[in-house]
Amino acid sequence: FVSVARLERNPTIREEIRARGFGRDIPAGFLCYPAAQAADITAFRATVVPVGEDQAPIIEQTNEIVRRINHTAGAEILPETKAIIPKSGRLPGIDGKAKMSKSGGNAIRLSASSDEIRAAVRAMFTDPNHLRVEDPGRVEDNVVFTYLDAFNPDEAETENMKAHYRRGGLGDSKIKARLEDVLQNLIAPIRARRAAYANDPGYVVDVIRQGTVSAREVTERTKREVFEGLGLFTL
């Protein structure tokens, strides 16, 4: 239902191949990632999937596979799905690179301590030409403003800061201080809840076990319907 050529044309995969320097020495598992994602999505008959904008081509490819399966079966066995993409799109890394990545060391973890958050914000890429406070600054491609757009609940405040920064008179230290406050308030309760779960591993294991049982019931039913629809033996 999906060819190697189609997998190689996937923009998300092409970008990752380029970024990782694979050339033609592409690991098979890496190349097949969109097909594995399609299996994850269709196994639960998902009709909406929250993703970053860079994952939208994988949703498109999933729907192509769904349409091929349904066409082959002569029936609507699997539903197509839609991507839910946040308005902020894909977050850049704190170093200004295109994508935040834990392996790239340019991410802020949801378990980050207050000190780690502070250090990450202070290291954020802004406008390299904004050398003095009075200089007009560039908001576009400015990582601090990208994060403020995504996370500051006071949108009007962010817009006012943008206007001030553009005309000059607003220093990087002030916009970073505001972003740090926003991220500290956002991450602190997440970090605390994560710590509570870490202190009760038995509860976490129970949740995983219960979820696994439910997941198997749903996915086995989907697999059986697909196999029957394609005229194959059920497993």
For residue 34, what are the domain limits?
A: 4-85
Token representation of residue 109: 């973890």
pLDDT attached to residue 102:
79
Residues 179 and 120 in one domain: yes
According to DSSP, the residues that pair with 84 across neighbouring strands are 50
Residues 16 and 73 in one domain: yes
- Give just the sign of the alpha carbon dihedral 60, 63, 65, 71: negative
pLDDT attached to residue 135:
93
Residues 65 and 136 in one domain: no
Domain count, the chain: 2
Place of tokens 């998300």: 12
pLDDT attached to residue 52:
83
Q: What 3 state SS string does 86-146 have? A: CCCCCCCCCCCCCCCCCCCCCCCCCCCCHHHHHHHHHCCCCCCCCCCCCCCCCCCCCHHHH
pLDDT in tens, the chain (235 residues): 999 889 888 888 888 888 888 888 888 888 899 999 999 999 999 999 998 888 899 999 999 999 999 999 999 999 999 999 888 777 889 988 767 877 778 899 999 999 999 999 999 999 999 989 999 999 998 999 999 999 999 999 999 999 999 999 999 999 999 999 999 999 999 999 999 999 999 999 999 999 999 999 999 999 999 999 999 875 5
Structural domain contains residue 210: no
Q: What is this structure's pTM?
A: 0.73
Whichever domain contains 14, its CATH number is 3.40.50.620
pLDDT attached to residue 77:
95
Reference 226, options 31, 39, 17; nearest CA is 39
Whichever domain contains 160, its CATH number is 1.10.240.10
